[in-house]
Amino acid sequence: MARTAATEPWEVARSIMNATRTKNEAQPDDSGTEAHTLARLALLCLAGVVAAVVSAGQWLLLLLGLVGLALAGAGLWWALAHRGVARLCGALLALAAPVAVLVLYAVSGLWPFAAAALGLWVAALGCARSALRRLRAPRGMHSHSARPPRRPVLIMNPKSGGGKVGKHGLAERAEALGARVILLDLDSSPDPAALARQAVAEGADLLGVAGGDGTQALVAGVAAEHDVPFMVLAAGTRNHFAMDLGLDRDDPTSGLDALSDGVEIRVDLGDVAGRPFVNTVSFGTYAEIVQNPEYRDAKTVTTLDRLPDLLAGGAGARLTATADDQRLQAPQALLVSNNPYVLADPLGVGRRSRLDGGELGVLSVRIEGAAQAAELALLGERASGITSLTSRRVTVEADTETIPVAVDGEALQLPQPVVCAVRPRALRMRVPRHRPGAPYIAPSVDWRRVVRLALHRTPRPTAKNQEQSDA
């Protein structure tokens, strides 16, 4: 159903919003000295790790910690890839291996050295990542000032994110800013894309969504098609797209500032078989699991029930993917993203450093046994079963007529071959001028780069946190 907008002068509405909330966009620290200092601290902590191991005098016992980690990874594989007794034994091994190592360290008196080495290693990683974070690339997403829209239309899902639309009064606040609000009636299976097209036909000069990433993608496709500005409110469950746009996920109402004091940036839009996506397209294990009707109400039980057959290759479509000229044979899981995610080590997070790079991120996973699972536990993203690359076009084929796909979390069946592509800078995003920003995420720690940074002073340019602006 649609709610009639309350017409208010923009100046009054803007004053109301600014009176209730003041946000300052975070600015990065441009001091190159800090980067060099942190790099040197990282190397100092790394030297401390070596010193702790040498001081213990019992290398083999300390190395048992790595063995325990490998055994835990292998046990976890058995627990996920098998049923019955094998699953039980795998779970016990995954739990018992690290506990046994800790007991061994305590009995032998090595626990102080092990604890010191572990703490220093964590500190070394933290300092190294912080140093690399201060060397971010100078180019950012370009923004420019934009006049407030005259006829904005916001489509809101009242049940998304546990009812954030109602909890934060988003509809009333949007109407106070002169927007027309359309509340989705989920009982009637509404089509957000059709509602967006109708709104544009009726003269809407901005489209917005307060809902999940799937709904955002559908409306974003319409906005890109008609070259109409698009905005999002962080009213979903995870709000990945809003997070990478630099919006405040804890305060969805802050996104409404884009209506009265916004700037415009151009971002890429993904396309999978003619359907838009803003975050990811998943193939393989996850996509197969979410097709089950039981998954929504019993995620853990459904996942544990389906994984053994999927990991063993006895169920599900057998995939083959081609990313530009590189062929990925039989991946168990394949993730294609609108711009690449930063693959992180244990101190990292899953985010995209930018949304206008004009390329897809591709992550392929294939673990064929306990040995590769143990390798994954030790090496993380550098394990042989992980392939990470970028591409402009990804084609996925299978030995079945249709391929299970999860597009921004929505379960679909698409006829093969499924082609994923990126539409560079196709989407005009309207975002608040003042917002937390998406902090730069450093890539996985490259110790050679850290050493060079610690030993040499290289000049670094100044950059804004979220985007370059001529506003």
The secondary structure of 311-329 as a DSSP string is HHTSSSPPEEEEETTEEEE
If DSSP codes are grouped into helix, strand and coil, which group holds residue 145? strand
Which residues, other chains included, contact 98 with Cβ-Cβ below 8 Å and sequence gap of 6+? Answer: 68, 69, 72
- Does the pTM exceed 0.85? no
Which residues, including other chains, have CB under 8 Å from residue 91's CB and lie 6 or more apart?
75, 76, 78, 79
**pLDDT the model gives residue 447:** 80
User: How much is the pLDDT for 105?
Assistant: 80
pLDDT of 443:
61
- pLDDT at residue number 341: 86
What contacts 33, CB < 8 A, 6 or more positions away? Answer: none
pLDDT of residue 349: 46
Quote the CA–CA distance of 56 and 143 in Å, as a whole number. Answer: 55
Six-digit token string for 87: 């699953």
- Write out the chain's pLDDT in tens, 471 residues: 444 443 343 343 444 344 333 333 334 444 467 888 888 898 899 888 888 877 777 666 667 778 888 898 888 888 888 888 988 998 999 999 989 888 888 888 777 887 888 888 889 888 888 888 776 644 556 778 889 999 999 999 998 888 999 999 999 999 999 999 999 987 788 899 999 999 999 999 999 999 988 899 999 999 999 999 999 999 988 788 998 898 988 899 999 999 999 999 999 999 999 999 999 999 988 888 888 877 766 778 877 777 777 777 667 788 999 998 899 988 888 999 999 987 543 334 467 888 999 999 999 888 887 787 777 776 777 777 888 899 999 999 998 999 999 999 888 999 989 999 999 999 999 999 888 766 555 567 778 888 888 887 554 443 344 444 444
Provide the pLDDT for residue 13: 40
User: What interhelical angle do 59-81 and 84-108 show, nearest 10?
Assistant: 160
pLDDT value for 110: 76
* pLDDT for 58: 67
- Taking only the tens place, the pLDDT of each residue in 171-214 is 999 999 999 999 998 778 889 999 999 999 999 999 999 998 88
Query: Which residue from 246, 233, 253, 242 is spatially nearest to 25, judged by alpha carbons?
Result: 246
pLDDT score, position 2: 46
What Rg, from alpha-carbon coordinates, does the chain have? 25
Element (H, E) at 141: strand 141-145
**What pLDDT sits at residue 201?**
96
pLDDT (0 to 100) of residue 336: 94
